[in-house]
Amino acid sequence: MKGEGSRTRLIGRERGYHGVNFGGISVGGIVTNRKMFGTLLTGVDHLPHTHLPGKNAFTKGEPEHGADLADELERIVTLHDASTIAAVIVEPVAGSTGVLIPPKGYLQRLRDICTKHGILLIFDEVITGFGRLGTPFAADYFGVIPDIITTAKGVSNGVIPMGAVFVKKEIHDAFMNGPEHLIEFFHGYTYSGNPIASAAAIATLDTYKEEGLLTRGAELAPYWEEALHSLKDAPHVIDIRNIGLVGAIELQPIAGQPTKRAFQAFVKAFERGALIRTTGDIIALSPPLIITKGQIDELIDHVREVLTMVD
């Protein structure tokens, strides 16, 4: 719409997750997904991931080391030329790969480099959106404003399918420039504006407001952090990280059998009545925004116990 049609490349990040649609797999960095689907979208490049356990293990909140990894974007721009790059997409906190928290200053650097080169910055806030970090969005938490935010899950409490995209005014206005009687987005989806999903989203937003849930994570975050890090001396634990109301416990993999130990923890926890989520050898915890301190204790006790039970 702006006449910059040569900008066709997308830049994602190693270990990123943006769903198992073709575009999402292409910009994503989850190897087991990528290797199944051939060459995917062309013209995509990837930033390095930001997981530096050698330097940042057991950090509470944002890690000290790694902001310079954002400078890799300059290298990618030098390789392809800015005039060919449309957008950079990252999860502000990478979720599905095992909760990778951005190093201090990292997102701001990405923002600055994108602005410098006229590249759009997209935050995939499907996990971080709607209160996960104790602020309405991760953009609020980090004070870094992207050009586009993708959301889902929290918008309807994750129980009715719905996704939504927010764009800054300039992007909106670039599209909304036709004659009144023409529809700007020529295509719709069958399920766009679905009435049940819309009703669920409106009800969810009302509940967030009434119960203060978009910021409740901030009140619980210190308690959550202490509880999580109390597992530091539990068996097999090689890293613990947290931010807002999300966190991860990384386990030493069993030699030659990656993921087995965490899977055992998942099964043992399930048998005890606690549903935890594992990804690789990482236990990723993202409890409901209504969790109580007592329930946090209960959850952490379960995890401590199961870690003594696994091989």
Ligand X SMILES: Cc1ncc(COP(=O)(O)O)c(C=O)c1O
The one among 19, 23, 158, 235 contacting ligand X by CB under 6 A = 19
The one among 45, 62, 91, 250 contacting ligand X by CB under 6 A = 91
Does 17 engage in binding with ligand X (CB under 6 A)? yes
Burial zone of 140 (CB within 10 Å; 0-12 exposed, 13-18 middle, 19+ buried): middle
| Segment 236 to 265, residues that bind ligand X, using CB under 6 A | none
Residue that the structure tokens 């602020």 belong to:
135
Buried/exposed 219-245: b ≥16 CB within 10 Å, e otherwise: ebbeebbebbbebeebebbebbbbbbb
Region near ligand X per CB under 6 A, out of 11-19, 36-44, 50-58, 303-311:
11-19
Least distance in Å: CB of 256 to ligand X?
29
Residue nearest ligand X (C-beta atom): 19
Region near ligand X per CB under 6 A, out of 121-129, 175-183, 208-216, 290-298:
121-129
Q: Which x/- pattern over 122-161 shows residues binding ligand X (rule: CB under 6 A)? A: --x-xx------------------------x---------
- Report the length, in residues, of the chain: 311
76 vs 155 by CB, closer to ligand X: 155
CA 152 to chain CA centroid, Å, is: 11
Least distance in Å: CB of 152 to ligand X?
6
The one among 7, 18, 236, 268 contacting ligand X by CB under 6 A = 18
28 vs 66 by CB, closer to ligand X: 28
14 vs 301 by CB, closer to ligand X: 14
157 vs 264 by CB, closer to ligand X: 157
12 vs 95 by CB, closer to ligand X: 95
What's the alpha-carbon Rg for the chain, to the nearest Å?
A: 20
Q: Which residues pair with 151 in a beta bridge?
A: 164
Region near ligand X per CB under 6 A, out of 12-20, 98-106, 193-201, 242-250:
12-20
CA distance linking residue 267 with residue 203, whole number of Å: 34
Size of the site for ligand X (CB under 6 A): 13
Contacts with ligand X by CB under 6 A lie at 17-21, 24, 91, 95-96, 124, 126-127, 152
